[in-house]
A and B are shown apart, each in its own frame.
Chain A
Amino acid sequence: MFWFNRKRLGSMKLTMIGLMVMALFLSACGNNNPGNASNAGTEPTTAPTAETTEAPAAPKTLTDAMGHEVTIPANPQRVLGSYLEDALVTLGVTPVAQWSVPNGVQDYLTTELKDVPTISYDLPLEAVTSFAPDLILIPSESSVQNGIYDQLNKIAPTYVIGDELNQDWRKSLLKIGEILNKTPEAEKAIKDYEDKAADAKEKLKGAIGEESVAILWLVQKNFYIVDETRSSGAVLYTDLGVTLPNLVTEIPVGTRATWNPISLEKLSELTADHIILVNSDKTEGSEILDSAIWKGIPAVKAGNVHEMSSTSSWLYSGANAGGKIIDDVLKNLVK
């Protein structure tokens, strides 16, 4: 390539050509050993197994939240339901891959999903293909906008649960149960959960009565206060009937947003009897907990702070997450 390296060919040109050669070389390397760079355990399964022609018992056609007619295989064997793992695990289905972000997975499910490889939250198409799913479940419409749905649907039938159902894990669980022919399991899981919640509610009443409990999430030096609309707030306030703290009741109902940012100054007005602190700043940034304002909060003064680690299920929703939240509540608030 250097035969046209004449006088006028400046050194810059050489550099650029060098860069391009390097780029070529680098990408050629990548081609030879992609396993190095990809997540451990996601060894692509280039399984040319002629599409498993399961006995066509009864594939069914369902309409998803975006109006797609989706033909669900009779007996899905390789389900991919990124961020729907709680429901899948509850129904006894092991997904082919689990949701992940660069700094982690859904930690509370590590036992259940021990050997399940991870897939990036944004579902790179080639990664999805490598897992050879036979059914793809998507929680929210917004993640498959702009033609992504069509591409996923080329890989395997893709069903979008939709935000409306997904806001309520019970509805979403029932829908997934219906899709996977596991409606009885879904109903049983919900009933088990309600029984557990009712039982815990009784115990809690005896232990803390009408005392209020605040759930605070500390992440990157910012506090968020959890309301009753979702996740651990829904479990604690709605299912277990615990009294909401003053700072939450002051938020207009319409603007509650699961994670309501709240300043430390505002927190000083918190009159809750107990604080459940989900601490995602355990390793760094906890100095905010040494501040005078924090230490002046009545519940803190009284020593009623119950700390949950960031690996707990307190930031998640689902039958599994909810059950674990109830366990944590009983352990910490019922002495």
Chain B
Amino acid sequence: MHRVTLSPNEKERRTRAITVLSLLAILIIVVFIVSMNTGFMRLSPREVLHTLLGDGTHQQKLILFDFRLPRIVISLLVGAGFAVSGCILQSLARNALAEPATLGISAGAGFAVIIFISFFPATTAAPVFVLPLLALGGASLTAALIYILAYRKADGLSPTRLILIGIAVAAGINACQLVLALRLDPNNYQFVATWIAGKIWGGDWRFVLALLPWIAILLPFAFYKARILNVLNLGDHTSLGLGMRVEKERILLLVTAVALAGSCVAVSGGIGFVGLIAPHLARKLVGPRHQVLLPASALTGALLMITADTIGRWVLQPAEVPTGIVVAIIGAPYFLYLLAKSKA
């Protein structure tokens, strides 16, 4: 894997990758700016600028710094987290359908959070920092369960079995969630319902702080493991032949993906589809090499989420559409398109 010389082909690939990545970054910045201006209260770009420079009224500061910015930052983090998690899972499972939501990992994380919220309503101080840990616990348990069920000594981890079992486990957890939700009082039920629909509810800097360490550690780690994912994507036999400790690396990467998904679910609820679509989109843009694919997925996911959040905040003013639903509305047609195309 030593890069000796760059073939013209390789060179072109690099420029393309850099182009795509910077384009995504620019788009994110644009949507970021639009998002800061969007909401119930009218804030013109000039007012936003003034407020950012510390010149706004009390109201404007409140809206920008306390309500809008944390939410925007959370959408970015969550989008990137889900996307990278999905990207890793798709490569590990060697299945285009894999993502935290289809594999039941999001459901497991969500279930843990919902159990906690329904039994310890936050009449006391909100246990913001506990939530990612809880979600992580739920996600890990689910992932372990799926792994154990899907693993066969004879033929290792079958991609198809992994997905099927994941879907089954997710369905089971969702059923439990529903049973639990039905027993809640109306207010808690409503919270849980919008939570399941995927509403970014942690709209406050503490949630950013609770989520940031996970993303800041796990994303670079995933990028660092990019080459291993390239090899694993070739299949177990090839990987073994190349001298890789397949099982160890796979579990390490799986844990990374699960931790990313779990911590994101804790603040954003059940937002599916980002983890599915973003890697697909990124793959179309930059190809299958994980060195570029992972960062591209992260950026695409962040862009998708921030766009969805902005749209969700704007379309039905003053009501808000849960971000997860907006993502699904954008995502479903694309997904159908993928299905139709792969059949042909």
A contacts, CB < 8 Å to B: 1, 4, 10, 12-13, 16, 19-20, 23-24, 26-28, 30-31, 34-35, 37-39, 42, 44, 46-48, 51, 66, 102, 119-120, 124-127, 129-130, 132, 140-143, 145-147, 150-151, 154-155
Roughly how many angstroms separate A47 CA and B60 CA in the complex, as a whole number? 10
Chain B residues lying within 8 Å of A38, measured Cβ to Cβ, are 40, 317-318
Q: What residues of chain A lie closer than 8 Å to B316, measured between beta carbons? A: 37
Contact A51 B318 (CB under 8 A): no
Judge whether A147 and B122 touch: CB under 8 Å: yes
- Chain B residue numbers with a CB within 8 Å of A19 are 330
Nearest-neighbour CB distance to chain A for B325, whole angstroms, equals: 15
Apart from A20-B31, A155-B62, what 8 extra A-B contacts exist at CB < 8 Å? A24-B307, A31-B38, A31-B44, A124-B320, A126-B39, A145-B121, A145-B126, A151-B204
CB contact between B318 and one of A27, A66, A120 (< 8 Å): that residue: A120
From A4, A46, A119, contact of B42 by CB (8 A)? A46
Q: Does B58 contact A (CB under 8 A)?
A: yes
Q: Is the interface of A mostly helix, strand, loop or mixed?
A: helix
Q: Which residue of B lies closest to A35 (CB)?
A: B42
- The answer, among B16, B42, B311, for a CB contact under 8 Å with A34, is B42
B285 part of interface (Cβ distance < 8 Å): yes
* Identity of the chain B residue whose Cβ is nearest the Cβ of A6 in the assembled complex: B16
Assembly CA distance A176 to B334 (angstroms): 53
- Which residue of the partner chain, among A27, A126, A142, A154, contacts B121 with CB atoms under 8 Å? A142
Q: Across the two chains, which residue of chain A brings its CB closest to B56?
A: A48
> Do B57 and A34 have beta carbons less than 8 Å apart?
no
Chain A residues lying within 8 Å of B121, measured Cβ to Cβ, are: 141-142, 145
Q: Which residues of A contact B123 (CB under 8 A)?
A: 66, 141, 145
> Which B residues are closer than 8 A to A by beta carbons?
16, 19-20, 23, 27, 30-31, 34-35, 37-42, 44, 57-60, 62-63, 66-67, 117, 121-123, 126, 128, 185, 187-188, 191, 201-204, 206-207, 281, 284-285, 303, 307, 310-311, 314-320, 330, 334, 337
Answer whether A23 and B311 are a contact pair too, CB < 8 Å, given A31-B34, A127-B318: yes
In the complex, residue of chain A having the shortest beta-carbon distance to the beta carbon of B341: A12
**Contacts A27-B314, A154-B62; A20 near B307 (Cβ below 8 A):** yes
Would you list 16 pairs from A and B whose C-beta atoms are within 8 A, ordered by A residue?
Answer: A4-B20, A26-B311, A30-B314, A31-B37, A31-B42, A34-B39, A66-B123, A126-B39, A126-B41, A127-B318, A140-B187, A145-B121, A146-B122, A146-B202, A147-B128, A147-B207
- A145 — which chain B residues lie within 8 A by C-beta? 121-123, 126, 187-188, 191
Q: Is the CB of B202 within 8 A of A147?
A: yes
A66, A127, A143: the one within 8 Å of B40 (CB) = A127
In this complex, which of A30, A31, A38, A47 has the most chain B Cβ atoms within 10 angstroms of its Cβ? A31
A151 touches B66 (CB 8 A): yes
Residues of B within 8 A of A51 (CB): 58
Are A12 and B337 closer than 8 Å at their CB atoms? yes
* Inter-subunit contact B40/A34 (CB<8 Å): yes
Nearest Cβ in chain A — how far from B143, in angstroms? 26
Known contacts A10-B284, A130-B40: A39-B318 contact under CB 8 Å = yes
> Which of B37, B39, B187, B303 is in CB contact (< 8 Å) with A20?
B303
Expressed in whole angstroms, the Cα–Cα distance for A163 and B60 within the complex equals 33
Q: How far is the CB of B25 from chain A (nearest CB, A)?
A: 13
| Set B30, B59, B203, B337: member contacting A24, Cβ < 8 A | B30
Q: Which residues of B contact A46 (CB under 8 A)?
A: 41-42, 57, 59-60
> How many angstroms from the CA of A4 to the CA of B17 in the assembled complex?
11
- Contact residues in A for B319 (Cβ distance below 8 Å): 102, 120, 124
**Across the interface, which residues of A come within 8 angstroms of B42, CB to CB?**
31, 34-35, 44, 46
> Which of B35, B59, B185, B316 has the most chain A CB within a 10 Å cutoff?
B59
**CA A120 to CA B63, docked complex, whole Å:** 18
A13: chain B residues at CB < 8 Å are 281, 284-285
Are B310 and A27 neighbours in the complex by a CB distance under 8 Å? yes
Q: Decide if B41 touches A130 in the complex (CB within 8 Å).
A: yes
B227 CB to closest chain A CB (Å) equals: 24
Q: Which residues of B contact A141 (CB under 8 A)?
A: 121, 123
Taking a contact as CB atoms closer than 8 A, the residue among A48, A119, A129 that contacts B41 in the complex is A129
B59 — nearest CB in chain A belongs to which residue?
A129
Contact A4–B19 (Cβ < 8 Å): yes
Instruction: Name the residue in B44, B202, B206, B310 with the highest tally of chain A Cβ atoms < 10 Å from its Cβ.
Output: B310
CA distance A119 to B317 in the complex (A): 11
A145 to B122, CA, bound (A): 5
Cα(A129)–Cα(B63), bound, Å: 8
Which residue of A has the minimal Cβ distance to B184? A142
Q: Which residues of A contact B320 (CB under 8 A)?
A: 124
> Across the interface, which residues of A come within 8 angstroms of B34, CB to CB?
24, 27-28, 31
Collect the chain A residues with CB atoms within 8 Å of residue B191's CB: 145-146
B contact residues around A151 at 8 Å (CB): 66-67, 203-204
Cα distance, A65 to B285, chains bound together (Å): 55
A124 — which chain B residues lie within 8 A by C-beta?
A: 40, 318-320
Nearest-neighbour CB distance to chain B for A99, whole angstroms, equals 13
In the complex, chain B residues whose CB is within 8 Å of the CB of A28: 34, 37
Partner of A142, one of B63, B188, B318: B188
Contacts of A23 in B (CB 8 A): 31, 307, 310-311
- Given the known interface contacts A37-B317, A140-B187, the answer about A147 and B41 at a Cβ–Cβ threshold of 8 Å is no
Name the A residues within 8 Å of B19 (CB-CB).
4
